Each structure stands twice: as C-alpha cells, then as structure tokens.
Chains A and B, each alone.
Chain A
C-alpha cells in the first residue's frame, strides 16, 4: 500500500539552529516521485522539491537540503540556520506512476509543524 509517514508532529527550534524533518514512504512501484511542500499560515501549499526514484543524489538549495535514501525509504529535509520565516507546516508527498491508472496523484503525509522562535 502507498503511504507516507511523517513521525514528527511538531518541532520547535530557536533561530539559527539546524533542523531535520523526517519522511518515510511505502510503495510497490519502482518508478515514483517524492515531493516536499511548505504550507505557511496563509494556507497555500508551496512546492519545494521533486525527486524521482532513480535519482538518489542529495540536493542543496540555499539553506535547504534533501537526503533521499532508497535503502531506508526515506526522504529527509534539512533546514540549515533556520529563520522565523521558515515557520510553517511541511508536507512530504509521494506520487506513483502506476497507482490505479491515476497518474500524478499526490499521497501526503500528515505534516510536521515547524516553529522557529527568534
């Protein structure tokens, strides 16, 4: 069955601390995509990154980095030197190419609420 687990419900850090958000997924597909979205208090989901199942290279974008490990079915997200503006709910999501013939549907985790205090 397809499933995304974000075990951390809430995380609170002080500004400039590094923080890692965990994501573990389950899928039977060999071809799939993983995503991270940010949902600030305004409510709109903002795309952060997409990674396909054949590309295990880690990625860095400014203060954000992602660690994809197929061996442990994890796709973790690290924010370096966190800032107050990083406060939001972060969702990890899975998209499979062969699920029920419906391609592109996102299966979301429950999200991790990150609070960055000044």
Chain B
C-alpha cells in the first residue's frame, strides 16, 4: 500500500514570495491533516479536512496561509506571502474515517522542508 506522498521535499524561497505544497493521502483515507513542525518542536496542526470539507482551521494563519482539498483526495497548502518564521517542515497526514473520530491512527508523509531567507 502506498504511503502519504508529499512534494516538493525541499523548498527555499525569499520572504514575501509565495510557495505551495502538495499532498496525496493514502487511498481511501477520508481525513487529511496539515501540520507545521518548527525545528526542535513537535508538529502543530494547521488544518484538518474530512473529505473535501474543513473540520478545523483554528490554528491556520489565514492572512497568509490557505489550503484546499477540492475533490476530497489530494490537497494543496499555500503560503503567500512567506515570512521568516514560516521556516519549518510541513507534514501531511491522513487517516481513515471512523465514527468515533478521535483515536484514529494518522499516517504521515515525509514532509516538505521550507526555508525562508
């Protein structure tokens, strides 16, 4: 079974530029998550989708970050314009949809390492 795919693996941009990350979850997984992992810290949730609807985007800086999952499969996360503090690894994860919600095992992709200069 193929895992969660992400691209690109690395990206270097200058501040105020825009950047986009792509994620393809495990086939059949209804729930998709984007996390931001700053160096030396644990991942922090940015946004959660269930199929193509947003479940939680309370920690997404909406003035500069946006995300979509139009067909309920793959997803794109965009930053525009980027700031120095956006330098981090952006992780995508997916899980199956279960009635209880919490407790689902999340499968993570390899991440995209973003450096903002």
A residues apposed to B, CB below 8 Å: 4, 31-33, 35, 37, 42-47, 50, 52, 91, 93, 95-97, 100-111
Contacts and interface: CB of A to CB of B under 8 A. Distances in A.
Contact of A106 (B58, B89, B106): B106
A105 B93 CA distance: 11
Q: Which of A4, A37, A102: most chain B CB closer than 10 A?
A: A102
A50 B42 contact: no
B102 A31 contact: yes
Contacts of B108: 37, 44-46
Contacts of B91: 45
B24 interface: no
Contact of B104 (A32, A37, A100, A104): A104
B41 A103 contact: no
B77 interface: no
Interface residues of B, number: 30
A104 B42 contact: no
Interface stretch (B13-21, B43-51, B64-72): B43-51
A47 B105 contact: yes
Interface string B88-117: 010101010000111111111111010000
Nearest to B56: A102
B55 interface: yes
Given A100-B56, A102-B56, A105-B33, A45 B43 contact: yes
Contact of B102 (A37, A47, A104, A110): A104
Contacts of B61: none
Given A104-B48, A106-B43, A111-B42, A44 B103 contact: no
Contact of A102 (B42, B48, B93): B48
Contacts of A47: 105-107
A106 B33 CA distance: 10
A96 B103 CA distance: 8
